[in-house]
């Protein structure tokens, strides 16, 4: 009998074949719950509601160095260059990353994967130490957002919650904070008072990729450890299914008879992306993601999140790290 598995995951082009049933994981009766990522992360991290789920890479790494309730497979449903996620108040005097030193910087959560990447990139590539700014945490658009996971930060990291009725987006617009690191665009962006620090962000992203070869990973897919331990073959079955669904998505890039996506110059953009990043620009598996993961793991530990240094292979079920030999 197939093993019933409930998977909570956002709807993506690269996972759509899993959601609509064109791809079926071997031996699995899959229920795909399409949910906004914040809901999935909160419910999985706090209550472990699902058999498998998309999860913040940062939250997963933190959990792995604590009670390790999950095991991941090397599938990365979300990747994102994050230079576009640094916003500043137009009157703050911040013109370049170094100007952030000594400023008040908003964060929805210190441990968010996007924020880990942003802090690490600003320190590694722009000389802005993580501890050189004063962080203010709270809800982006709704007040009262807590950290999903408790964090114990180094003494030299200054972090203060905003008021119970305040929001980061509004505080950025009024100048109560000088800058904001965020994966979601604040509603105040577009007003005269808020702009991006890196503008255009795309050129900064390309320069960063050409220097490092890193396309930042945001999310992994995790299996609840008790589910995995009962049927360890599930890890490979799910990995293979995600890889097949991604391959079907990539085939649509080559379809010229009809336009599968609402992008008029899709084929030009695919060609441009491949000229910069290579044909398989969104790889799964460990080998081609080792340096990206190694960099993130260094950031997580150095920023006081991971309780110990980790090697990339420690993140994943061993069944997913080797090909079958024939």
Q: Give mean pLDDT, residues 165-170.
A: 97
Q: Give mean pLDDT, residues 240-250.
A: 97
Asked if the model's pLDDT at residue 323 lies above 80, the reply is: no
- Average pLDDT over the chain, rounded to an integer: 95
How many percent of the chain have pLDDT more than 70?
99
Helices vs strands, H then E, count in the chain: 10, 11
Chain length of the chain: 326
196-216: pLDDT as tens digits: 999 988 999 999 999 999 999
Domain annotation for the chain: domains and CATH numbers: 3-79+217-246+285-320 (3.40.190.10), 83-212 (3.40.190.10)
Q: Give mean pLDDT, residues 260-281.
A: 92
79-107: pLDDT as tens digits: 999 999 999 999 999 999 999 999 999 99
Beta strands in 131-178 (DSSP E): 134-137, 158-161
Please name the residue ranges forming H helices in 194-315: 201-212, 225-230, 233-252, 266-277, 290-302
Beta strands in the chain (DSSP E): 3-9, 28-34, 52-56, 70-73, 86-89, 104-107, 134-137, 158-161, 179-181, 194-196, 219-224
Band (pLDDT 50/70/90 cuts) for residue 306 is: very high
9-66: pLDDT as tens digits: 999 999 999 999 999 999 999 999 999 999 999 999 999 999 999 999 999 999 999 9
Q: Give mean pLDDT, residues 263-275.
A: 93
Q: Supply the pLDDT for residue 24.
A: 98
307-318: pLDDT as tens digits: 999 999 999 999
Asked if the model's pLDDT at residue 148 lies above 80, the reply is: no
pTM higher than the cut 0.75: yes
Asked if the model's pLDDT at residue 159 lies above 70, the reply is: yes
Asked if the model's pLDDT at residue 149 lies above 90, the reply is: no
Do residues 97 and 204 touch, judged by C-beta distance below 8 A? no
Q: Supply the pLDDT for residue 90.
A: 97
Q: Which two tokens stand for residue 269?
A: 């953009």
CA distances from 214 to 28, 253, 292 (A): 33, 23, 5
Partner residues linked to 32 by β-bridges:
7
Alpha-carbon distance of 141 to 80, in angstroms, equals 22
Band (pLDDT 50/70/90 cuts) for residue 325 is: low
Q: Give mean pLDDT, residues 179-208.
A: 95
Q: Supply the pLDDT for residue 146.
A: 81
Residue showing tokens 């396309």: 215
Q: Give mean pLDDT, residues 151-164.
A: 92
Tally of CA atoms within 13 A in the half-sphere of 23 that contains its CB: 21
H or E segment to which residue 42 belongs: helix 37-47
Cα 291–chain centre separation: 16
Task: Give the residue among 104, 82, 85 at the shortest CA–CA distance from 94.
Answer: 104
């Amino acid at each position: 009998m197939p093993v019933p598995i409930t998977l909570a995951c956002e709807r993506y082009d690269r996972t759509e074949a899993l959601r609509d049933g064109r791809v079926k994981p071997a031996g699995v009766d899959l229920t795909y719950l399409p949910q906004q990522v914040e809901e999935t992360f909160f419910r999985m991290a706090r209550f472990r509601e699902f058999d498998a789920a998309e999860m913040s890479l940062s939250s997963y790494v933190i959990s792995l160095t604590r009670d390790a309730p999950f095991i991941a497979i090397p599938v990365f449903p979300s990747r994102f260059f994050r230079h576009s996620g640094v916003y500043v108040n137009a009157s703050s005097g911040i013109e370049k990353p170094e100007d952030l030193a000594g400023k008040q910087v908003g964060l929805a959560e210190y441990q968010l994967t996007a924020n880990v990447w942003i802090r690490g990139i600003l320190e590694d590539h722009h000389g802005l130490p993580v501890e050189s700014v004063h962080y203010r945490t709270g809800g982006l658009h709704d007040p009262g957002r807590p950290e999903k996971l408790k964090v114990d930060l180094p003494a030299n990291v200054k972090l203060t919650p905003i008021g119970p009725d305040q929001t980061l987006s509004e505080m950025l617009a009024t100048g109560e904070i000088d800058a904001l690191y965020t994966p979601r665009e604040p509603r105040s962006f577009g007003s005269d008072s808020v702009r991006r620090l890196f503008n255009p962000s795309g050129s900064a992203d390309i320069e960063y990729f050409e220097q490092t070869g890193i396309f930042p990973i945001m999310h992994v897919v995790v299996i609840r450890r008790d589910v995995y331990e009962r049927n360890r073959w599930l890890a490979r079955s799910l990995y293979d299914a995600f890889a097949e669904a991604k391959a079907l998505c990539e085939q649509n890039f080559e379809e010229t008879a009809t336009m599968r996506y609402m992008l008029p110059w899709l084929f030009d953009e695919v060609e441009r992306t491949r000229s910069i990043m290579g044909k398989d620009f969104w790889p799964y598996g460990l080998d081609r993601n080792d340096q990206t993961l190694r960099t993130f793991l260094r950031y997580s530990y150095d920023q006081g999140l991971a309780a110990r240094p980790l090697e990339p292979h420690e993140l994943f079920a061993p069944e997913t790290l080797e090909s079958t030999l024939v």
